[in-house]
A and B are shown apart, each in its own frame.
Chain A
Amino acid sequence: MKPAPLEYLAAATAEEALAALARFDGNARLLAGGQSLVPLLSMRLLRPTAVIDINGIPGLDGIAVGDGVVRVGALARYSALETSAVIRERVPLLAHAVPFVGDRQIRNRGTLGGALCHADPAGEMALCAVTLGARLRVVDGAGRRELDAEAFFQGPYTTALEPTEMLEAVEFPDGAGTEAVVVEHARRHGDFAAVGVAATGLPAPDGSWRWIRIGLSAVADRARYARRASEGLAGTRLGPAEVEAAAAHCLEEADPASDVRASAEYRRHLIPILVERALNELARRRR
C-alpha cells in the first residue's frame, strides 16, 4: 500500500499554507500529525495532488489561557495536551480523553486540529469539542471565521471546513474547578470507541452541580452534545433518579449503526450504562 504520486510542500507560515491550498484549488491536503492522513494516502483512499506540511509553522501549537477561554493551537500534539498543567486544570475533559487516543507513538505525532478535521464519529477530540461547546477558529486567505463545534461537524469524516481553509485554533471554555470523566467501550485498548461518553460539570459548594454537560461518540454520524440530558442535570445532585433520566435522554439522542465493533442494538444497550457510569464517577470525583 503505497501513496499515489503527490507533491510535497513544507509551509513556513500560515499564509504560505493557505496560498498553497488556494493554488491547488481543493486538490491539496494539509499534513499535520499525519496519523489519520498518511494511512489514507497509503491505501489510496485519498489522492491529493499535493500535501502541505504545516508542522513547521510556528505559533500553531500554543496552549494559552485568557478571557475565560483556553486557546489551544490546532497543531498541539496529544503528548503536549497530556502533560500540560493548563489542560489538566482548566480543560480536564481533554486530559481525561487523550489517554484513550491510539497509543504512545500516535500521541507523539497526532494533533488536536488534525483529529477535529478528520472528524471520525468515534473520535475523542470531537467528543470533547462538542461536549465542552468549543469554538473553532478557521482561517483562509480572505480572513477568519469562528464556528461552534456542533456546527463544525457535519457527518462522518465531514466538516464545515472549506478546501481552502485551515483550522487555526480551538477555544475551550476555561474549566477551572470543573470535574471531568471519559468512559469508553472498545474492543481493544486504544481502539476506536464502540460507544464513548464524556461528562463534565461544575460542582457547587452546596453539593449540587451548577451545570453538567454530556457528550456521546460513536453512536451517531458525528459526536453529539446530549443537550436535553445535560440541561436536565443542572442544579441537581446527580442522584440515582436524575442519572437514570439523563441516561434515558442520551439514548434518545443516539442513532447508532452496526459495524464490526458492535451492533446498533448493543450500542443502544450500552449507552445508558456508560452514561450512568460516567455520571456516577463524576459524582465520586468531587468528594
Chain B
Amino acid sequence: MSARVTVALRVNGRAYERVVESRRLLVDFLRHELGLHGTHVGCEQGVCGACTVLLDGEPVKSCLMLAPQAQGRSITTVEGLAGRGELHPVQQAFRDAHALQCGYCTPGFLLGAVVLADRGVTLEGAALREELAGNLCRCTGYQNIVEAVERYLRQAAAGRGDG
C-alpha cells in the first residue's frame, strides 16, 4: 500500500483539501479526484502538452508533477477561464479563427496564450511558433492556432493601451 499525504491547494480560485496517494500524477488528481476533465492526458511523458495547467500563473505540464507537489499552490485549469459565463477572449479568438478541430489539445494552448497576454507579450510568426512548441496538435497543422494567438495577443495589448 502506497503512502498517502494530504494536499491542500487552490484550483480555479477554489480551495480543496484531499488525501491522495503519493504517486498520483497531478493530472490524474485534477481530472479524477477533483472532476476537472478539461485538462487532458496525451502521453505521460511531458511531450505533448495536453496536460498543461497554470501553476501559480506559469504553464507547466501536469503529467510531470506528483499531486503532493501541488501543496499550497494555486492552479488554473481551462475550466477557470470562462467559468459558466461568456467565453474568455482567448477562447473566442480560437473559435473565430477555427483554431481547434477535435479540441483535445486545445486547453493546453489556451492557457499558454493567456499567460503571454498577461505579460504583454506580442509574439508572432516564427517566434510565436517557438513559444508554442511545448504543445502538440495533430488536427489543425497549427496555422489557425498561430493566427488565433497572434490576434488575441494584439487585442490584449490594444486593450491595455500599449498595442
Whether A38 touches B134, Cβ cut-off 8 Å, given contacts A7-B22, A31-B69, A79-B58, is: no
Q: Which of B59-67, B91-99, B147-155 is the interface stretch?
A: B59-67
Residues of B within 8 A of A141 (CB): none
Q: Chain A: interface residue count, which band?
A: 20 to 34
CA distance A254 to B112 in the complex (A): 39
- Distance in angstroms from A52 CB to nearest chain B CB is 11
Residues of A within 8 A of B79 (CB): none
- Distance in angstroms from A102 CB to nearest chain B CB is 7
Contact string, B122-152, partner A, CB cutoff 8 A, digits 1/0? Answer: 0000000011011100000000000000000
Once A and B bind, how many residue pairs between them come within 8 Å at the CB atom? 98
Closest-by-CB residue of B relative to A99 is B130
**Residue pair B1, A5 in contact (C-beta under 8 Å):** yes
CA distance A3 to B27 in the complex (A): 13
Whether A34 touches B66, Cβ cut-off 8 Å, given contacts A3-B23, A104-B59, is: yes
**Residue pair B5, A8 in contact (C-beta under 8 Å):** yes
CA distance A41 to B59 in the complex (A): 22
CA distance A8 to B59 in the complex (A): 23
Check: A6 CB closer than 8 A to any chain B CB.
yes
CA distance A8 to B46 in the complex (A): 21
Chain B, 68-86, CB within 8 A of any chain A CB: 68-69, 71
Check: A42 CB closer than 8 A to any chain B CB.
yes
**Residue pair B66, A38 in contact (C-beta under 8 Å):** yes
Check: B3 CB closer than 8 A to any chain A CB.
yes
- Distance in angstroms from A114 CB to nearest chain B CB is 11
CA distance A103 to B60 in the complex (A): 10
**Which of B5, B45, B60, B64 counts the most chain A CB atoms within 10 A?**
B64
**Residue pair A104, B112 in contact (C-beta under 8 Å):** yes
Residues of A within 8 A of B71 (CB): 10
Residues of A within 8 A of B3 (CB): 5-8, 50
CA distance A42 to B46 in the complex (A): 11
- Distance in angstroms from A95 CB to nearest chain B CB is 16
**Residue pair A6, B61 in contact (C-beta under 8 Å):** no
Chain A, 23-50, CB within 8 A of any chain B CB: 31, 34-35, 38-39, 41-43, 50
Residues of B within 8 A of A38 (CB): 25, 46, 63-66
**Residue pair B60, A105 in contact (C-beta under 8 Å):** yes
Tell me what chain B mostly uses at the interface: helix, strand, loop, or mixed.
mixed
Check: A144 CB closer than 8 A to any chain B CB.
no
**Residue pair A102, B22 in contact (C-beta under 8 Å):** no
- Distance in angstroms from A16 CB to nearest chain B CB is 15
**Residue pair B69, A6 in contact (C-beta under 8 Å):** no
Residues of B within 8 A of A164 (CB): none
Whether A103 touches B49, Cβ cut-off 8 Å, given contacts A34-B66, A190-B133, is: yes
Check: A146 CB closer than 8 A to any chain B CB.
no
Residues of A within 8 A of B60 (CB): 105, 108-109
Contact string, A4-27, partner B, CB cutoff 8 A, digits 1/0? Answer: 111110100000000000000000
CA distance A50 to B71 in the complex (A): 17
**Residue pair B133, A103 in contact (C-beta under 8 Å):** yes
**Residue pair A106, B61 in contact (C-beta under 8 Å):** yes
CA distance A70 to B147 in the complex (A): 41
- Distance in angstroms from B105 CB to nearest chain A CB is 13
Q: From B45, B59, B133, give the contact of A39 (CB < 8 A).
A: B45
**Residue pair B23, A39 in contact (C-beta under 8 Å):** no
**Residue pair B46, A39 in contact (C-beta under 8 Å):** yes
- Distance in angstroms from B2 CB to nearest chain A CB is 4
Residues of A within 8 A of B134 (CB): 102-106, 190
Closest-by-CB residue of A relative to B26 is A38
Residues of B that sit less than 8 Å from A by CB: 1-3, 5, 22-23, 25, 28, 44-46, 49, 52, 55, 58-61, 63-66, 68-69, 71, 112, 130-131, 133-135
* 17 A-B residue pairings within 8 Å (CB atoms): A4-B23, A6-B23, A7-B22, A31-B69, A35-B46, A38-B25, A38-B65, A38-B66, A42-B25, A51-B22, A53-B66, A53-B69, A104-B133, A105-B52, A106-B134, A108-B58, A109-B65
